[in-house]
Amino acid sequence: MDILFVTDPLASFKAYKDSTYAMMREAQKRGHGLLACEPRQLVWKRGGKVLAGGAERIRLNPAQDPHAHDHTPWFELIEVLDLTLADTDAVVMRKDPPFDPEYFYATHLLGQAEREGAKVFNKPAALRDHPEKLAILEFPEFIPPTLVTRDAAAIRAFHAEHHDIILKPLDGMGGTGIFRVGADGLNLGAIIETLNQNGAVSVMVQRYLPEIALGDRRVLVIGGKPVPFVLARIPQGGEVRGNLAAGGKGVAMPISPREREIAEALGPILAARGLLLVGLDVIGDCLTEINVTSPTCFQEITDQTGCDVARIFVDALEAGVAARG
């Protein structure tokens, strides 16, 4: 089948660690055709269907070792074409955050493509309905003490109650904009002003979880079922953030009983809403985020454990395409 990946520019990929690359590699191994475009290339005109203008049909270079960090191109461009999304077998939305207005508009174009017959994963409406910070509010039994507000006084009261807190923007990614404030309250006022922009922007505040020292653990859920290994992203050098983009060290390990409990509770619910791939972030016993836009960590888990996450994903993608007829 032909699979269209809606993603960031191919030239920006770090093939040695990119999860979308791992998906593509497994799909090509099975004989599927690979196509790619960026969200900016999606076009709709009355009387026609949503198309990807200037989509690229590619073939991965089997001679390139993504871990060698050499300059061998990781793909070969076969052709450039205007491609109607409904004419593909599957569309995989893999654009990285931020979930800004253009991302939002892209989900509506992908939703229109669905109405025209395209099979899109993750489902565009589900991407809109599950903002990655706020989606946890539906599952309060699994999350730490959490506050979402614009109100500086409410944040100060939360700090007075819990003494050690984390503040983060609702639209952040990769650990950007995350602050910790301890019992002394040092710089709390300045941090609130920075994040809530004098009451104009909502902020998430959570009780600090000391278990972060053991890692912010990424639990991948594919087709409603947890992958048996997780990636613990462990803060380095005095950081409170474990995100790999913020310098965290990724260590793969078997899923814990608590992580499995959370994943098995949420997985079927989220899968039924059209979320084929989800990344749950768990610190200690607590769920802290539900990532749905472009969850990562495929290659790190596979390289360290031998568990082929991309194989699990493409199995689920093929099943999802068949289920949608």
Helices 298-305 and 309-323: crossing angle in degrees, nearest 10, is 130
- Residues designated catalytic: 133, 168, 218, 233, 241, 281, 289, 291
What is the signed CA dihedral for 12, 219, 176, 21, rounded to 10 degrees?
0
Q: What span, in angstroms and rounded, lies between the C-alpha atoms of 179 and 240?
A: 8
- Distance CA(281)–CA(287), nearest Å, equals 6
In angstroms, rounded to a whole number, what is the distance separating the alpha carbons of residues 85 and 117? 8
d(CA 160, CA 60): 55
Burial of 220: CB neighbours in 10 Å, binned 0-12, 13-18, 19+? buried
- Which token pair is 324? 């949608």
- For residue 127, give the nearest of 316, 323, 290, 297 by alpha carbon: 290
| Structure-token match 């003490």, residue found | 145
Helices and strands, number each (H, E), in the chain: 8, 17
Cα(34)–Cα(60) distance, integer angstroms: 9
Which helix or strand (DSSP H or E) is residue 309 part of? helix 309-323
Q: Give the three-class secondary structure for 47.
A: coil
Pairing of strands 277-283, 249-254: unpaired
